[in-house]
């Protein structure tokens, strides 16, 4: 019991504390939070929607979590981050339980602490994204399989299929096919492929079908081919075959992510291994399963075209159990590193994470522009990327302002990554003459904005750029430090004529 109490205390400190302070960030968190907010406003708990249109990016499970949190706590930062923290906590408990059953409670406790204090896990426990839910369901799928296999108890496979069903509701078909591939490889290594007959039973698949039909069936009936083409075509097939970010499609991507994601344990492990390991260890059956689980996840996603930092998160639990076996014989090192991280992470949250989150959110811009908005105001945003968080915090329709040429380059197009650009657009030529216009403009794009607009604009507000963001830009991009992040301009109704870029005053 004391181990569970300690793990719960660690979870409160590392995963929950301060979540109400961190703003919703762009570009990813704002999409999930805004989608759930619009679903709640529409009273629709079935069809995800964003910017007033249906949106088929991800399945329903994480949206249900957000909707429930918004109903209980109200729409806001703490509610948005509540269930990622809850599932991160569940991840600790199932890691402890699984490792304790495989080996002993000391290894289980060490594995859970290593997981909690790994950089990637700590970060994702706060992030408003689907991955923590997927991690828990993905892991329960494989853990219940292994317990059933070891005890020769096929009834446990029902739990495995049920968890896989929830994983499919969380992330899509990958929640079934990737755990299935891991099981297939493991049984092949064991020379026990005939065991598949005990897994592939009708009742298991019926349970899986019943769970996923809760959402996929009505969505198919209601939205038809539009849902299938966007969800399965763009967000599953295209994701695997065409890189959304070609710069990250390199062979060493997940090797680097693993090194960083397991910090500080990856560094300690490398140092200790160089000093102590003289030969490759012989793997027992649990270690074979853990190794197949971790390596299959990493290799599979390395072969996929689109690569995200979070994709290999399901490999962390088997990896930390193997790490715990290493550190359990080096307990003093383990205690020192864990204790240090329990101090460092809360400090990092307030000193580093919060300022960076503020710089990557439009919460401050929203607070600045709300007093200037009335029913006759047309609000536009001009930046390299669209800030969904500005819509989340204002609750207003905000157009992405582009030149005609840029709009034609990025406008939605079926079966391409451009299909994700579902925000409302407006070109400079379409700026209304019969309305007041409020423009939120990135400082980096200010010149472009002024060169393409006419009339008398008032500069009514600015938002400063944080020092950490400026330092990061200086280090990684060689840019000089900018004091300002964005500027807010207003053009009153009837002042659309005149020279290009006429800024007349500061209010």
pLDDT in tens, 320-345: 999 999 898 889 999 999 999 999 99
pLDDT recorded at residue 507 = 47
- pLDDT of residue 310 exceeding 70: yes
Last residue of a domain, one of 184, 207, 241: 241
**Position 467 in a domain:** yes
Mean pLDDT, to the nearest integer, of 209-215? Answer: 97
Domain that holds residue 211: 131-241
pLDDT of 506 over the 70 cut: no
Is 412 domain-assigned? Answer: yes
For the segment 142-159, the average pLDDT, to the nearest whole number, is 96
Q: Which of 180, 208, 241 is the last residue of a domain?
A: 241
Beta bridge partners of 491: 437
- More confident position, 472 or 231: 231
Does residue 63 lie within any of the structural domains? no
Model-wide pTM > 0.85: yes
Phi then psi for residue 334, to 5 deg, are -60, -50
Domain final residue pick, 224, 241, 258: 241
Structure tokens that stand for 415 in this block: 């079966």
**Concatenated DSSP letters for 206-227?**
HHHHHHHHHHHHHHHHHHHHHH
The H-or-E segment that residue 458 falls in is strand 456-464
- Report the 10 Å Cβ neighbour count for 56: 22
Please, is 327 exposed, middle or buried when counting C-beta atoms within 10 Å of its C-beta (0-12, 13-18, 19+)?
buried
| Number of domains composing the chain | 2
394 belongs to a structural domain: yes
Residue 479 lies in a domain: yes
Residue 206, in any domain of the structure: yes
Determine contact, residues 134/170, Cβ cutoff 8 Å.
yes
Which tops the pLDDT comparison, 11 or 474? 11
């Amino acid at each position: 019991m004391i181990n569970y109490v300690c793990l719960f205390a660690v979870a409160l400190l590392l995963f929950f504390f301060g979540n109400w302070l961190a703003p919703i960030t762009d570009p990813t968190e704002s999409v999930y939070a805004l989608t759930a907010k619009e679903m709640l406003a529409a009273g629709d708990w079935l069809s995800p929607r964003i910017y007033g249109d249906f949106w088929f990016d991800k399945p329903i499970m994480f949206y249900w979590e957000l909707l429930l949190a918004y109903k209980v706590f109200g729409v806001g930062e703490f509610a948005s981050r509540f269930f990622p923290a809850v599932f991160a906590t569940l991840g600790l408990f199932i890691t402890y339980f699984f490792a304790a059953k495989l080996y002993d409670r000391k290894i289980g406790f060490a594995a859970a602490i290593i997981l909690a204090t790994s950089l990637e896990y700590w970060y994702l426990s706060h992030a408003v994204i689907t991955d923590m839910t997927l991690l828990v369901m993905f892991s329960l799928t494989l853990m219940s399989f292994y317990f059933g296999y070891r005890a020769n108890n096929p009834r446990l496979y029902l739990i495995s299929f049920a968890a896989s069903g929830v994983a499919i509701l969380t992330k899509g078909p990958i929640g079934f096919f990737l755990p299935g591939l891991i099981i297939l490889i493991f049984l092949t290594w064991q020379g026990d492929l005939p065991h598949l007959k005990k897994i592939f039973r009708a009742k298991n698949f019926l349970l899986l079908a019943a769970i996923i039909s809760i959402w996929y069936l009505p969505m198919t009936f209601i939205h038809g081919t539009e849902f299938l083409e966007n969800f399965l075509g763009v967000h599953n097939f295209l994701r695997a075959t065409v890189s959304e970010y070609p710069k990250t499609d390199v062979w060493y991507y997940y090797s680097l992510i693993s090194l960083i994601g397991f910090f500080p344990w990856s560094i300690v492990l490398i140092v200790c291994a160089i000093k102590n390991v003289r030969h490759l260890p012989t793997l027992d059956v649990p270690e074979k399963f853990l190794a197949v689980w971790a390596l299959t996840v990493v290799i599979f996603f390395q072969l996929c075209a689109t690569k995200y930092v979070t994709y290999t998160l399901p490999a962390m639990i088997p990896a930390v159990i193997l790490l715990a076996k290493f550190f359990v014989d080096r307990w003093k090192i383990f205690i020192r590193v864990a204790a240090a991280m329990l101090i460092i992470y809360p400090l990092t949250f307030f000193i580093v994470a919060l300022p960076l989150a503020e710089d990557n959110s439009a919460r401050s811009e929203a607070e600045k522009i709300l007093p200037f908005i009335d029913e006759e105001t047309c609000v536009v945003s001009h930046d390299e990327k669209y800030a969904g968080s500005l819509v989340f915090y204002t609750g207003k329709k905000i157009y992405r302002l582009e030149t005609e040429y840029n709009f034609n380059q990025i406008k939605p197009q079926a079966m391409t990554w451009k299909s994700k650009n579902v925000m409302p657009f407006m070109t400079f030529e379409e700026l209304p003459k019969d309305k007041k216009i409020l423009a939120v403009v990135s400082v980096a794009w200010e010149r472009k904005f002024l060169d393409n607009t006419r009339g008398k604009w008032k500069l009514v507000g600015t938002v400063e750029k944080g020092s950490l963001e400026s330092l990061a830009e200086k280090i990684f991009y060689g840019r000089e430090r900018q004091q300002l992040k964005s500027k807010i301009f207003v053009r009153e109704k009837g002042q659309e004529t005149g020279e290009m870029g006429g800024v007349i005053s500061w209010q």
